[in-house]
């Protein structure tokens, strides 16, 4: 294992040394075999000055490096270059990467960067900045290839030779009319095999999946997952083509949305990472812990209402956490399933009743199974069969509550236009704790004479 690590280190420094010591031609040739993400990882581990490496890289490659970085780090790298190189790199950057970067800087810096663009690029970036960040318009890039439906194959090939190098996806060619309205799509394969005089309108596919500029990014992500496309065009309300969204961009969105849901379920801010400062972590987590403190007080108040019963039957205090704990676990299982179903649009009006019935059946059966096990254990522990019956019945009732809460809480939050991942866990845990204590201690109070 150590020899393998050493080999990797040698390889890392070999690449960096080639960049530091190579000629311009050698470096450009070397960069063709190194993905920007791999070089970014190596730069993070490099102990020397990264600018010594960056200044020797071609402008187009630096633009690719910046495009792969986190949005908040893009400008930091760009600003490390001279004014002239900044302009050159900006001219090589994709419009969506520029828009993402400008969304993280101050207004004066934003205008300064835009002033270094040519007129066409500046207009494209300004238009992208006009869309909401979490919509299709905020994700799309302007670099796409479009041809006219009346063009011939020969004319299209000549046009592609000129435009394809600047396109995000040269393997998809979109067909527009004179007003820019999306009419269809044609593949490179179809263009290659068709006769030179064939009109594009005769070979194009008119059945094109497209999304409106204001579609939420989560919905766009679901379309990519459903159809497996590499790219989807974006249109305005008049069906005029505005840009494209590529698979690599939507992958980042899906990762962000998944992370956000996981963090919200755990009561964390989506901005927190393992490298966050203690102060940021405290500020992120403490509000949720305060809310949990309030709900815990509600559960404690239920226990307080049955102090008299607990004082007579001390064994109740031993078994209380079992009922509430199992209820919380079961509720979290249902909650996780329902939140995921809502996020992926798998839970809809057609199957809501079926899913609810299934979860209730699961809750009842699991409650009976767990109730029998814990009931037998309680009987053996306390020596009274009625005690086992009480905790077994309380377990069944609480798992039914858990299934119901795990289903209804996220569904109701969704109807209220609140993210189901936000606060669902707090509400479900509150229900199972409060009702678990109430069922167990309430039943014990009813049968207190047989337990004493």
Q: Look at residue 8 in the predicted model and tell me its pLDDT.
A: 47
Q: Is residue 48 part of a domain?
A: yes
205, 184 in Cβ contact below 8 A? yes
What is the share, in percent, of the chain residues with pLDDT greater than 90?
46
The CATH number assigned to the domain holding 404 equals 1.10.357.20
Nearest to 19 by CA among 64, 56, 66: 56
Q: Is residue 141 part of a domain?
A: no
Q: Is the pLDDT of residue 407 over 60?
A: yes
Q: Look at residue 310 in the predicted model and tell me its pLDDT.
A: 92
Q: Look at residue 169 in the predicted model and tell me its pLDDT.
A: 62
Tell me the average pLDDT across 53-68.
90
Residues shown for the chain: 452
Site of tokens 């987590």: 285
| Same domain flag for 321 and 375 | yes
The per-residue pLDDT for range 116-145, each reduced to its tens digit, is: 999 888 998 998 998 988 899 999 988 888
| Same domain flag for 174 and 257 | yes
The CATH number assigned to the domain holding 163 equals 3.10.580.10
Q: Is the pLDDT of residue 440 over 50?
A: yes
Q: Look at residue 2 in the predicted model and tell me its pLDDT.
A: 41
| Same domain flag for 119 and 173 | no
| Same domain flag for 297 and 438 | yes
Q: Is residue 191 part of a domain?
A: yes
Nearest to 320 by CA among 381, 250, 394: 394
Q: Is the pLDDT of residue 276 over 80?
A: no
SS3 per residue for 357-390: HHHHHHHHHHHHHHHHHHHHHHHHHHCCHHHHHH
- Round to whole Å and give the CA distance between 423 and 335: 11
The per-residue pLDDT for range 221-247, each reduced to its tens digit, is: 889 888 888 899 999 999 999 999 988
Local structure of 135: helix, strand or coil: strand
| Same domain flag for 154 and 216 | yes
Q: Is the pLDDT of residue 391 over 90?
A: yes
Q: Is residue 338 part of a domain?
A: yes
Least confident of 89-93, 122-126, 347-351, 409-413: 347-351
Domain finish residue from 96, 129, 162? 129
| Same domain flag for 325 and 260 | no
Least confident of 152-166, 325-339, 390-404: 152-166
Q: Look at residue 165 in the predicted model and tell me its pLDDT.
A: 60
Q: Is residue 100 part of a domain?
A: yes
The CATH number assigned to the domain holding 64 equals 1.25.60.10
Nearest to 405 by CA among 327, 341, 342: 327
Please give the residue range of the domain that contains residue 122.
11-129
Q: Is residue 339 part of a domain?
A: yes
Q: Does the predicted model carry a pTM greater than 0.85? A: no
pLDDT range class, residue 400, cuts 50, 70, 90? very high
- Round to whole Å and give the CA distance between 101 and 345: 31
Tell me the average pLDDT across 344-351.
83
């Amino acid at each position: 294992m150590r020899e393998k690590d050493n080999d990797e280190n040698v390889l890392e420094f070999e690449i960096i040394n080639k960049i530091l010591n190579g000629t311009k031609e050698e470096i450009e040739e070397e960069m063709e075999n190194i993905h920007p993400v791999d070089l970014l990882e190596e730069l993070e581990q490099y102990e020397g000055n990264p600018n010594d490496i960056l200044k020797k890289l071609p402008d187009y490659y630096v633009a690719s490096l910046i495009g792969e970085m986190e949005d908040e780090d893009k400008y930091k790298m760009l600003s490390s270059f001279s004014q002239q190189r900044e302009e050159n790199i900006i001219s090589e950057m994709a419009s969506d990467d520029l828009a993402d970067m400008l969304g993280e800087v101050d207004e004066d810096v934003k205008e300064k960067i835009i002033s270094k663009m040519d007129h066409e690029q500046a207009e494209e970036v300004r238009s992208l900045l006009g869309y909401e960040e979490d919509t299709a318009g905020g994700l799309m890039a302007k670099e796409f290839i479009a041809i006219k439906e009346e063009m011939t194959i020969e004319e299209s090939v000549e046009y592609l030779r000129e435009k394809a190098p600047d396109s995000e996806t040269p393997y998809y060619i979109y067909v527009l009319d004179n007003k820019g309205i999306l009419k269809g799509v044609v593949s490179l394969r179809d263009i290659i095999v068709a006769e030179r005089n064939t009109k594009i309108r005769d070979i194009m596919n008119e059945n094109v999946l497209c999304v409106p500029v204001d579609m939420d990014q989560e919905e766009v992500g679901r379309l990519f997952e459903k159809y497996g496309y590499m790219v989807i065009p974006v249109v305005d309300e008049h069906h005029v083509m505005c840009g494209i969204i590529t698979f690599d961009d939507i992958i980042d969105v899906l990762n962000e949305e998944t992370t956000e849901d996981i963090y919200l379920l755990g009561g964390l801010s989506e901005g927190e990472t393992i490298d966050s400062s203690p102060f940021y972590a405290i500020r992120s987590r403490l509000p949720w812990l305060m809310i949990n403190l309030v709900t815990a007080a509600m559960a404690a108040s239920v226990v307080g209402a049955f102090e008299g019963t607990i004082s007579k039957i001390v064994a109740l205090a031993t078994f209380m956490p079992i009922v509430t704990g199992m209820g919380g676990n079961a509720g979290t299982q249902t909650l996780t399933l329902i939140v995921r179903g809502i996020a992926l649009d798998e839970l809809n009006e057609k199957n809501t009743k079926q899913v609810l019935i299934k979860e209730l059946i699961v809750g009842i059966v699991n409650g009976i199974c767990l109730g029998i096990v814990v009931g037998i254990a309680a009987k053996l522990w306390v020596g009274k069969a009625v005690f086992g019956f009480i905790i077994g019945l309380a377990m069944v009732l609480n798992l039914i509550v858990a299934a119901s809460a795990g289903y209804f809480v996220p569904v109701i939050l969704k109807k209220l236009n609140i993210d189901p991942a936000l606060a669902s866990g707090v509400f479900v845990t509150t229900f199972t704790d409060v009702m678990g204590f109430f069922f167990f201690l309430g039943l014990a109070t009813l049968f207190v004479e047989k337990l004493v």
